[in-house]
Structure formats: structure tokens, C-alpha cells
Amino acid sequence: MSTETKCNPDLVRERAKCTFDVNELINLFYGSEKATKERRHFEDAVLAVKELKDAIPEEYLSHKERYENGVRKATILRDVYRDYKAKHNRDPPPNQITKAVIKDISPFLLHNGMFVPTIAGQGTPEQQAEWLPKAESMQIIGTYAQTELGHGSFIRGLETIATYDPKTEEFVLNNPTLTSFKWWPGGLGSTVNHCVVVAQLYINGKSHGIHPFIAQIRDLDTHKPLPGVKVGEIGPKMGFQTANNGFLGFDNFRIPRKNMLMKNAQVLKDGTFVKGINEKLTYGTMVMVRVGIVGDCSFYAALAATIAVRYSAVRHQSHIKASEPEAQILDYLTQQHKLFIAVASSHVYRNAYLWMEKMYTNVMKELSQDKQDNLPELHATACCLKAVCSRDAGSLVEECRLACGGHGYMASSNLPLTYGVTIAAVTYEGERTVLLLQTARYLMKAWMAALKGKVLSPSVSYLLNSLKESKKPWQNTPEGIVKGFQHVSFGKVKAAYETIQKYMKQGKDYEDAWNLASVQLVKASEAHSRAILCEVSWEAVCSSSASPNLSRVLQQLAQLYLTYWTLETSGDLLLYSNITKDDLIILRDKYEELLVAIRPNAVGLVDGFDLRDEILNSTLGSYDGRVYERLMEEALKSPLNQETVNSSFHKYLKPMMEKAKL
Ligand SMILES: CCCCCCCCCCCCCCC/C=C/C(=O)SCCNC(=O)CCNC(=O)[C@H](O)C(C)(C)COP(=O)(O)OP(=O)(O)OC[C@H]1O[C@@H](n2cnc3c(N)ncnc32)[C@H](O)[C@@H]1OP(=O)(O)O
Ligand SMILES: Cc1cc2nc3c(=O)[nH]c(=O)nc-3n(C[C@H](O)[C@H](O)[C@H](O)COP(=O)(O)OP(=O)(O)OC[C@H]3O[C@@H](n4cnc5c(N)ncnc54)[C@H](O)[C@@H]3O)c2cc1C
């Protein structure tokens, strides 16, 4: 982090007021002092590589140049990772330094994030031994090719076909229609030479559902598409410009039998199909990534909050009192209302991620012992938390951007790009509504079990408690609010269930009744997610090892999250819990008191995310607060400022002006 010598005086004053030790917060957020040290050490090593610095901002490059620059930097970054591993005999610590280097999305994201994990998770030990060393050392580069032009959400409807030919012991891959073309996979455009292709398996004319296959699609020397492969890039998007998303189609393209990833289902030499213990295990990589996305949401909320809070401390505009100098915009309560929820939410998502990671690890361990009891709970929880956190995080980033006024609209603030990247997660790895409806299936089953008095899984056991406790009076405490959200979820689950029953009594079949109740079902899933987020984050804060000074502030943040959402969803609470109008008025006042209480620590709290200037990549958010100087410095980098008179003056403007004289 930079020293404070050249710091903006407002930021110096803000840091002096902080009531807790920022380093303690950093160490708590990232796990330990050791973890902080190692992460910073690795970040230093990356940032020391001169070739990773951009000569001009990426926004001035063409689509093609931007991609090429992304690949260039991704390969250098990969060397730094490899060298670190060789020197320390372990992977680099978790870090976000790729953001300081690639800025947008790495063309290798899908290689590291899904190609390698799919081989590890879906391959037999022999398949892992064949492909993992090559993939991990980047002798081969891959992606995860599942989505097609015609189908993304409903993956049983995928049209890519893998037909088994027992004579040659090969699968023949085909994309028979335009809609069957793979569309979206990151890196597919021009980077990868391999992919995991998800395709419908046919043996002797019989369909056996979708399965993952490894296909080499480009020559390793020339990088030309292999015969029978049509591949390309899909063009510019809202973000993800350097992710190199692509399309892919096969025409009678043959791969050996051993290229079907066979940890779950298998195809024997003679074409016998052997079912796996659970066909949904084929969806395993998606579950893992959904868990990871909750962690990403914490990062993006922290990044946007750091930029907007620091900027708001430096920016002065208008007066609170006419007799006083222009106020820091951070002193306006409305500004605090916009920003502090982003700071609080980052902590909430972080705690939810750590909680989900534990659940994921436990279930993976159980699956390795052929125990699947907790898989449905993992799937349902990962679906709804991914759906709710990604949408909330996108809205928080946008609110932070708006809170920076006009300057938030500048690319150099890094808030527009951050919004584009954050909001993509609402769609990828399972579209929001579709995932919430998956959770709703689980909630309906849990509700039916609750009605029968059965024991429920931990994440839904509150449904049983709520059945018993619904008449207890409301309590205006954090624990009481958590219970309140559980009552809302309980009420919405019950209402959705009863709506389905109502339609069925009217003669509708279950599927139609489900569709007619689906707005309520989605809302029930959202309420369930909110109840989990509130409970998990409050418990994490209560059980944290923080010092009293830090603990006080973390509790304020957690309470801010609870009261913010109580006030946002007060209608639901009035409907489904025993909260009263008077309770809500008390909580409204409490919320405003919390904003005021957090205000002196706002800059300390975002410093506690420990995001370096290079990661923030923002004129508005740097540690030293030199906002106006950086805005001007960045503007001067515009190619239009590299010449006094642009040629368009002579070509167009002058002729136009002269014509106008005639
Ligand atoms: C912990 C460590 C974390 C480390 C993190 C690392 C992170 C790395 C980051 C990397 C970033 C990567 C960037 C990603 C870029 C984007 C990539 C992509 O988008 S890839 C494509 C993603 N596509 C999707 O997500 C598709 C969404 N659709 C589906 O998943 C499915 O079609 C569906 C689940 C919506 C429906 O499937 P279907 O087979 O039709 O099932 P049913 O609805 O009929 O349900 C039947 C039954 O199955 C259960 N089920 C469904 N899925 C699962 C599952 N994954 N696991 C367990 N069980 C599952 C479902 O609940 C039903 O159960 P039932 O008891 O019958 O109700
Ligand atoms: C930036 C980005 C990167 C991506 N990277 C990859 C990748 O690397 N590999 C890959 O394979 N894919 C990738 N994808 C694709 C992504 O996984 C899909 O776009 C996503 O799963 C959504 O599917 P869809 O586009 O078919 O949306 P659709 O399902 O067509 O959604 C359109 C609308 O229909 C609604 N809808 C659909 N089904 C239902 C239903 N059953 N009930 C109610 N409403 C429904 C949705 O709610 C939504 O409102 C990426 C996508 C993006 C945006």
C-alpha cells in the first residue's frame, strides 16, 4: 500500500479517526496474518513484472488488440504462478491480482476455472493421469463448452450429439442444427485447443442423456481448427471483452472412447452403457463454480465500495450548513445509505462463501464414500445464494457508480467495467430465475416433509421451528430479525405450496400449477436465501475472534445489513412475521443511527479490504485520494490528446464550415 505522505488531507483525517486496527481487520478478512503476508508477497511479485504494465488504458485498444494484450499478459502471469509454485512447492495464495493485470476477464479463466476442475471432478483416475498434468502445466489449453445457441438453462435439451461407434471404439460428434452450435464458452474464440464438450450420448440409436467429453479442436502446432471443427469468436459484449467467448460446431468429428469423462457413467468397449450412481453428478463443476461466485460477489462489492467511499471522502459538494465549508459528500446520510450497505454486504458474502465452501467440502468427502444424502441441500443452497448474491452485488456496484456522480460514468473510475463483469454472474453458471426455481423444488419437498413432522436438513430446519413459533412476539434484536426473515421464508414457502395445491384442486396438473405459482416460488427462494445470509453472517460476527474495538464495528456492519433488509422488505415482514409498525419505526431510527456510527470508520473499513491501487485500477478510488489529478492524467492519455488538430478537422469540419458560407 502507498505511504500517506502525498495523501489527500481528507483521507489522512479519515484514517486518523478510525477506531479499530485496520491490519487486524485485513488479517481477519483474509484468514490470518500469515495469509495476508503471503498474499501481499505474491502480489508484489506479480506487480514487479514490468511487461505486465499497460502502456495505455485498454479502452483505447481495438477488440482484437485488447484480446491479444490479454493473452500476452495471461501467459506472463501464468509464468509467475509457475515460478512461485516451483520456488515454494505450493500454489500461490488466494488473491485477486489478475484484476490488476488483465483488468477485464482472462482468456484462461475457463481453463483454470472449469476445464481443469471438470477433468479432476468427472474423470477416472486414468483420465486424470492422462490430461491433468498436461492441462495444469498448460501444454494443452481448454474450456468448458456446454451452452448452445438454442439452449443454456435447460441442459437436458442440448443438441450436440455424441454417437458411439463400437467398431472403431470412438464417439462421433455432430452439431446437426444451427441452434446446436456451442455458444459462449470462454477462451473458445481463439485461445483454446481442447474443450470439455457436453453432448447427448447415443448408443445404437438410444439416447443416454448428456455427458462430458474431451475434444481436441485445434492443432497444437499450427492452432488451426482440426478437420470437422468450425470454431470462432462471438463478438463484443457488455463486459468479458478479453474472455474470448466463442462458438463451436462439429461435423462427424471422431474422438476415442477414452475421451468420455467416465467417473460417473461409462460406455464399455462393446457399447454397453453403465449408469452412474446419480446422473446429476455430471453437473458437479457448475455446483463448485456457483459456490465460488458467492466469493466473487464479496470481492466486487468490496472493490466498488472502496472506490466510492474513498471518492466520497475526497469529494466536496454543497453545504450541510450554510455557515460551514462545502461538505464531504460522505457526510450526507443519503450517501452513507448508498455506500455502507455495499461494505456490509461484502462481509456478508464473504462469510456466506466460507460457510458454503465448508458445506461443499463436506459433501464432496461424503460423495467420495458414495454417500449422497446432502447433495440436494448443497445444490439448492448453492443455486439460491449464487442467484441472490450476484444480483445484489450487481445492484450494489451500480449504486456505488451512481454515488460517484458524473465521474462514476468515466471508464477510468473502473466502475462501468466492474458493473459489466459483476452483473454477468446473474446469468452465467445458471440464470437467476432458473436457479431460484431449482431451490424452490427443494423447498417444496422440505415443506412437505415438515408437514409430516420429519427431520429436515440444517439449512431448512427453521421451517419446522417457524411452524411451532409463529405466535411468539417479535423481538427487535439481531437474533429476532434473523428469526423474522425465517418467518418470511416460512410464510412464502407455505403460500407457494398452497397456491400449487389450489391450482391442482381446480384440475390443473402439477406442472401447470407449478408454472402458475412460479412467481411466488421464486420469491420464496429469495426469502430463504435472505434468511440464510442473515443467519450465517450474524453467527460469523458473533463467533469471531476480533478484538472488542473491531468486533464493535463488525457488529454494526452486520446489524446494518439486517436492518437494511428489514426496511427494504417491511411489507413481507408485516405479512409473515409478528413485527409491528412501531417495531419498524424503531428499526428505521436504529438504521440511521448505525449509518452515523459507521461513518467515522468508513475509510478504515474499505482500507480493510486491502485492495491495492493496481487492483482497484480507478482514478477515483486510489489510496492517496488524488482524484482530480488522476482524472486529468488519464484524460491526457486519450489518443485524441496526442495531436493538437485531428485530421477530421481538415477532412470534414472545415469543408462543412466552408460549404455553410456559400
Ligand atoms: C468450493 C470451492 C470454490 C472454488 C471456486 C472456484 C471458482 C472458479 C471461478 C471460475 C469462474 C468461471 C466463470 C464461468 C463462466 C461461465 C460459465 C458457464 O456459464 S458454464 C454453463 C453453466 N450452465 C448452467 O449453469 C446451466 C443451468 N442449468 C442447469 O444446471 C440444469 O439444467 C438445471 C439444474 C436448471 C435443470 O437440470 P435438469 O437435469 O433438467 O434437472 P431437473 O430440473 O429436472 O431436476 C432433477 C433433479 O435433479 C436435481 N439437480 C439438478 N441439478 C443438480 C445438481 N447440480 N446437483 C444435484 N442435484 C441436481 C434437482 O434438484 C432435481 O431434484 P428433485 O429431487 O427431482 O427435485
Ligand atoms: C459472460 C458469460 C459467460 C459465459 N460463459 C460460458 C462458458 O464458458 N461456457 C458455457 O457453456 N456457457 C457459458 N455461458 C452461458 C451461460 O451459462 C448461459 O447463458 C446461462 O446458463 C443462461 O442460459 P440462457 O442464455 O439459455 O438463458 P435462457 O434460459 O434462454 O434465459 C432467458 C429467459 O428465460 C427464462 N427461463 C428459461 N428457462 C426457464 C424456466 N424453466 N422457468 C422460468 N424461466 C425460464 C430465464 O429466467 C430468462 O429470463 C456464459 C454466459 C455469459 C453471459
pLDDT per position as a tens digit, 64-123 = 999 999 999 999 999 999 999 999 999 999 999 999 999 999 999 999 999 999 999 999
DSSP bridge pairs for 497 = none
The DSSP call for residue 640 is G
Tell me the average pLDDT of the chain: 97
State the pLDDT confidence band at 621, using cuts at 50, 70 and 90.
very high
State the pLDDT confidence band at 3, using cuts at 50, 70 and 90.
very low
Overall pTM surpassing 0.90 (yes/no): yes
Position of cell 439486517? 562
From 141, 146, 153, 390, the mutation candidate for ligand 2 (largest count of ligand atoms within 8 A of CB) is 153
Q: What is the 3-state secondary structure (H, E, C) of 510-550?
A: HHHHHHHCHHHHHHHHHHHHHHHHHHHHHHHHHCCCCCHHH
* 490 within ligand 2 shell (Cβ under 6 A): no
Give the containing element (helix H, strand E) for 281: none
* 287 within ligand 1 shell (Cβ under 6 A): yes
Share of the chain above pLDDT 90, in %: 97
Q: Whose CA is nearest to atom 39 of ligand 2?
A: 434
pLDDT recorded at residue 4: 46
State pLDDT tens for residues 376-403.
Answer: 999 999 999 999 999 999 999 999 999 9
pLDDT recorded at residue 138: 97
State the pLDDT confidence band at 541, using cuts at 50, 70 and 90.
very high
State pLDDT tens for residues 292-314.
Answer: 999 999 999 999 999 999 999 99
The DSSP call for residue 139 is S
CA of 428 to the centre of ligand 2 (A): 6
Torsion angle of C-alpha atoms 170, 171, 175, 179, degrees rounded to 10: -170
pLDDT recorded at residue 466: 84
Cell numbers placing 127: 483420465
CA of 75 to the centre of ligand 2 (A): 30
Asked whether the predicted pLDDT for residue 472 surpasses 90, the reply is: no
* 184 within ligand 2 shell (Cβ under 6 A): yes
pLDDT recorded at residue 279: 92
Spatial strand order of the sheet with 182-183 comes to 182-183, 246-250, 229-233
Q: What is the mean pLDDT of residues 588-604?
A: 98
Cell numbers placing 394: 450487481
* 420 within ligand 2 shell (Cβ under 6 A): no
* 110 within ligand 2 shell (Cβ under 6 A): yes
Among 429, 526, 593, 643, which one carries the catalytic annotation?
A: 429
pLDDT recorded at residue 273: 98
Instruction: Point out the ligand 2 atom lying closest to the alpha carbon of residue 186.
Output: 8
pLDDT recorded at residue 27: 98
Instruction: Point out the ligand 2 atom lying closest to the alpha carbon of residue 240.
Output: 1
**247 in helix, strand or coil?**
strand
Task: Pick the ligand that lies closest to the CA of residue 289.
Answer: 1
Cell numbers placing 598: 459507521
| Residue 619 · residue 412 · CB < 8 Å | yes
State the pLDDT confidence band at 465, using cuts at 50, 70 and 90.
confident
| Residue 379 · residue 287 · CB < 8 Å | yes
Task: Pick the ligand that lies closest to the CA of residue 199.
Answer: 2
Decide if the complex's ipTM is over 0.90. yes
Share of the chain above pLDDT 70, in %: 99
CA–CA separation, 97 and 73 (whole Å): 12
Burial of 57 (0-12, 13-18, 19+ CB in 10 A): middle
State pLDDT tens for residues 254-294.
Answer: 999 999 999 999 999 999 999 998 999 999 999 999 999 99
* 443 within ligand 1 shell (Cβ under 6 A): no
pLDDT recorded at residue 471: 67
- Which residue, among 111, 113, 45, has the nearest Cα to 76 in the 3D structure? 45
The DSSP call for residue 225 is B
State the pLDDT confidence band at 597, using cuts at 50, 70 and 90.
very high
* 105 within ligand 2 shell (Cβ under 6 A): no
State the pLDDT confidence band at 360, using cuts at 50, 70 and 90.
very high
pLDDT recorded at residue 5: 55
Q: Whose CA is nearest to atom 23 of ligand 1?
A: 429
Q: Whose CA is nearest to atom 50 of ligand 2?
A: 428
Burial readout 606-639 (b: 16 or more C-beta within 10 A, e: otherwise): bbbbbbbbbbbbbbbbbbbbbbeebbeebeeeee
From 147, 183, 196, 432, the mutation candidate for ligand 2 (largest count of ligand atoms within 8 A of CB) is 147
* 285 within ligand 2 shell (Cβ under 6 A): no
Q: Whose CA is nearest to atom 22 of ligand 1?
A: 429
CA of 430 to the centre of ligand 2 (A): 6
Asked if 593 is an active-site residue, the reply is: no
* 187 within ligand 2 shell (Cβ under 6 A): no
Q: What is the mean pLDDT of residues 525-538?
A: 98
pLDDT recorded at residue 6: 86
CA of 151 to the centre of ligand 2 (A): 8
From 105, 237, 282, 429, the mutation candidate for ligand 1 (largest count of ligand atoms within 8 A of CB) is 429
Q: What is the mean pLDDT of residues 162-190?
A: 98
* 429 within ligand 1 shell (Cβ under 6 A): yes
Asked whether the predicted pLDDT for residue 591 surpasses 70, the reply is: yes
Could you tell me if residue 260 is left (phi over 0), alpha (psi between -120 and 50 degrees) or otherwise beta?
Answer: beta
CA–CA separation, 238 and 425 (whole Å): 12
Task: Pick the ligand that lies closest to the CA of residue 189.
Answer: 2
Could you tell me if residue 318 is left (phi over 0), alpha (psi between -120 and 50 degrees) or otherwise beta?
Answer: left
* 514 within ligand 2 shell (Cβ under 6 A): no
- Which residue, among 108, 125, 366, has the nearest Cα to 261 in the 3D structure? 125
Asked whether the predicted pLDDT for residue 49 surpasses 60, the reply is: yes
Q: How far is CA 48 from each of CA 101, 149, 459, 474, 624, rounded to the nearest angstrom?
A: 11, 42, 45, 56, 20
| Residue 294 · residue 349 · CB < 8 Å | yes
CA–CA separation, 418 and 402 (whole Å): 13
CA of 283 to the centre of ligand 2 (A): 15
pLDDT recorded at residue 105: 97
| DSSP β-ladder status, 273-274 and 266-267 | antiparallel
CA–CA separation, 436 and 658 (whole Å): 62
* 424 within ligand 2 shell (Cβ under 6 A): yes
From 98, 112, 289, the mutation candidate for ligand 1 (largest count of ligand atoms within 8 A of CB) is 289
